[in-house]
Amino acid sequence: MSARDPRNLDSMTSNDNISTNSTDEGLPRDFSQISLISTSKPDEFYSNGHSELALKNLYGYYRSQTLCDVVLIAEGCRVPAHKVVLSSCSEYFAAMFTGSLKEAKQNEIVLERVDSTALKSLVHYCYTGIIELKEESVEMLLATSSLLQLDAVTKACCTFLMNQLDPCNSLGIALFAEQQSCLTLHKSALEYTYQHFMEVMKQPEFLSLHVDQLANLLKSDELNVISEEDVCDCVLTWVHHDKENREKYLPTLLKLVKLPLLSSEYLIDKVEQTCGKIKECQPLIMEAVKWHLLPERRGSLASYRTRPRTSTIGRLLAIGGMDGNKGASNMEIYDPRTNTWSPYMRMGTRRLQFGVAILPRRLIIVGGRDGLKTLNTVDSFDISTLSWSTLAPMNTHRHGLGVAVLGEGPNAPVYAVGGHDGWIYLNSVERWDCITRSWTMVAPMAGARSTCGVAVLGGRLYAAGGRDGGACLRSLECYDPATNHWHNCAPMTRRRCGLSMCAAGGYLYALGGHEAPANTVGGRLACVERYDPTTDTWTLLARLSYARDAIGSCLLGDKIVAVGGYDGAQYLNLVEIYDAENNTWRNLAPLSIGRAGAAVVAIPPTNKIL
């Protein structure tokens, strides 16, 4: 686009080296004043600014309607022009005037369904390279420039509309861009709509959507909502806006809402009350009810409706761990929507080989080493107030312990499993009671374990692998809180110390670790295996990209993320996510620093930390 001001076009000059001495029609009176500059060849020269001067003169002919050989007619408005100028700027006109079409021989051409104002602006642009973009006319200008294949103008209009996006118009701009095949604008408008969906759903444009347009929105996992209940709310609001004509679409739209991820209260009080009598909706409601009532069967009940949207899975916190400075006390936070890690806060005290539990609105950081001694202290981080406090210490000093929450809700008990007290390996287990705010010893494991993997599945606590002072262990034990008893399960296929264990989709996953003695450089593992409690069997899965131990792992949404680790030579910043459907690992954005033994937890999106 020309940088010249259209108001000064009549006084446009080629360069300071050219004096045009123009007439009113833009023709130079004295061509001798044009500067001729020699080239390396003595018989060649070029005129500095010749092209700009020629275009200026053509614009003069256009303004005076001199030598015009075609008249474009739109909505009864006549626009004289030069075929050669139009053809040089537009592939549409080039094909019309240089091909075998009848228009090539016509002096007057009627353009159907073309806005006359937009046509005049675009013809003016062909001579000047200048066009004025206004909010009230830019869409018509874009449509006309797209038809006439004036790509530079089309691109400029798209950029203008991108800068105008807001919750009130993003849906309309996305639809318009799709109709005009402006893919970049369409993508930008959709991304804006997804990002600001909570505001978009309150606008009149949303309520006027056609059912197919609403369905296309609901199919996206990129809707930026706090919970799936927001999505269901928008569907019910849209239907109730014209209930008589839209209620028939409820089964179609409910299939695109992730009903199993709604709270049980919302499912019964709102969805069942509104849709329970519609026959086609009943199987969808029943599917969601089964998901809530039968958590041990979720592996077989999984579908695209049980896969959370990106914004509802929350974010990851990577806390502490070993780094190049022999111990990190800082945290990093991962945003899955942007695939980026950002610095967060620091722990109150330095800790290594500690455990972390996540409860509603707070983190519980348990035990570990401060670099000199083994700790029994417990810190609590309030996510709502971003403040630290101290809880009652454990009965036993522990590092290399496993920590897990067995149950749901703010008062769910926290278990500290095994570890090392600075002198011996431990088989003892203790439980934090949020009501009494105290630690109580529960049944010990059959054997001592430090740096073991600990996870909760189906209301039971599992501990796998680790070290008991001798070789690394293969064994797996399961604790039933109802009986206060541990029992042995099928052992893993490999011995593993320093492994990470995570529960997902009704299975346990054991990641990495090492199987050699602690003072041995080699023996680190890339293999991953999965335990099925219904068959009491382990299955080997796709390997991690690097063999390592001291991985931090967590379930983010419905996928396992493996963070950092130690490969025997360096602390890694590698982050990988597991796709269970394809049995593959792929990389996510790396940590800012290498970390081994970092505690990794998922924070729900409703917490202030986000």
Residue 530 confidence (pLDDT): 97
DSSP classification of residue 511: E
The CATH code for residues 209-306 is: 1.25.40.420
392 three-state secondary structure: coil
Per cent of the chain over pLDDT 70 is 91
Alpha carbons 576 and 588: distance in angstroms, whole number? 6
Distances (CA, A) of 488 to 384, 478, 493: 40, 6, 15
List beta partners, residue 414: 405, 432
- pLDDT of 486 strictly over 80: yes
- Measured between its terminal Cα atoms, the distance across the chain in Å is 42
Fold of the 6-188 domain: Potassium Channel Kv1.1; Chain A (3.30.710)
What pLDDT shows up at residue 48?
Answer: 84
Q: What is the pTM of this model?
A: 0.75
pLDDT value for 518: 53
Mean local confidence (pLDDT), 466-484: 94
List, for residues 306-334, the tens digit of each pLDDT value.
Answer: 989 988 988 999 998 888 777 778 899 99
Q: State which H helix or E strand residue 358 sits in.
A: strand 355-359
**What is the phi/psi pair of residue 426, to 5°?**
-110, 140
Using the CB atoms, write b or e for 542-552: b if 16+ within 10 Å.
Answer: eebeebbbbbb
User: What does each C-alpha distance from 492 to 474, 476, 509, 555 come to in angstroms?
Assistant: 5, 7, 10, 21
DSSP class of 217: H
CATH of domain 314-603: 2.120.10.80
pLDDT tens figures, 285-303: 999 999 988 877 777 888 8
Tell me: the pLDDT tens digits for 452-464? Answer: 999 999 899 999 9
| Burial class for 532, CB neighbours closer than 10 Å (0-12, 13-18, 19+) | middle
The proportion of the chain whose per-residue pLDDT surpasses 90, expressed as a percent, equals 71
- Measured between alpha carbons, how far is residue 114 from residues 122, 144, 285, 559 in Å? 11, 7, 51, 52
Domain boundaries, the chain: 6-188, 209-306, 314-603
The helix/strand/coil state of 486 is strand
pLDDT band (50, 70, 90) for residue 490: very high
- Residue 98 in this model has a pLDDT that exceeds 50: yes
Mean pLDDT, all residues of the chain: 88
What would the pLDDT profile of 180-226 be if each residue is shown by its tens digit?
Answer: 999 999 999 999 999 999 999 999 999 999 999 999 999 999 999 98
Q: Residue 105: which of 76, 79, 83 has the closest Cα?
A: 83
**CA 206 to CA 418: how far, in whole Å?**
55
- The pLDDT tens digits of the residues spanning 438-454 come to 999 999 999 999 999 99
Please provide residue 342's backbone torsions phi and psi, each rounded to the nearest 5 degrees. -135, 150
Does pLDDT of 570 surpass 50?
A: yes
Sign of CA dihedral 197, 202, 206, 211: positive
Q: What is the mean pLDDT of residues 149-174?
A: 95
pLDDT digits (tens, 9 = 90+) for 213-260: 999 999 999 999 989 999 999 999 999 999 999 999 999 999 999 999
For 107, counting Cβ atoms within 10 Å of its Cβ (0-12 exposed, 13-18 middle, 19+ buried), the class is: exposed
Backbone angles phi, psi at 5, to 5 degrees: -75, 125
